[in-house]
Amino acid sequence: MKLKPLADRVVLKMVEAEETTKGGIILTGAAKEKPEVAEVIEVGPGGVVDGKEVVMTVKAGDKVITSKYSGTQVKIDGVEYTIVRQGDILAIVE
């Protein structure tokens, strides 16, 4: 199954960063603080949203930071996604 977001919505997936501690142990997501960076998976078409023209400026593959608590979590085929409005994306991480 694939999610096609509507209007100015964007489908995100939290980045499960692997990190090597100083002692060489690899920590996965659960053992660390909640990761703050998400990857853009799908981008809506934009267009007129609430009577205002919205141009989409993020694209699939971008790493982004969103306002905390924004968006709706959904689970598709066992994978958890977050759907946000583009306006809830604060910055792209490069």
In the bound state with its own copies, the residue whose beta carbon lies nearer, of 24 and 52, is 52
Sites for its own copies among residues 27-86 (CB under 8 A): 36, 42, 44, 48-53, 55, 57-58, 65, 67-68, 72, 74-76, 83, 86
- Bridge partners of 83, per DSSP, are 11, 72
Phi, psi for residue 49 in degrees, rounded to 5:
-125, 125
| N-term to C-term CA, the chain | 29
Compute the radius of gyration of the chain from its Cα atoms: 15
Residues that bind its own copies in the complex, under the rule CB under 8 A? 1-7, 9, 11, 36, 42, 44, 48-53, 55, 57-58, 65, 67-68, 72, 74-76, 83, 86-87, 89-94
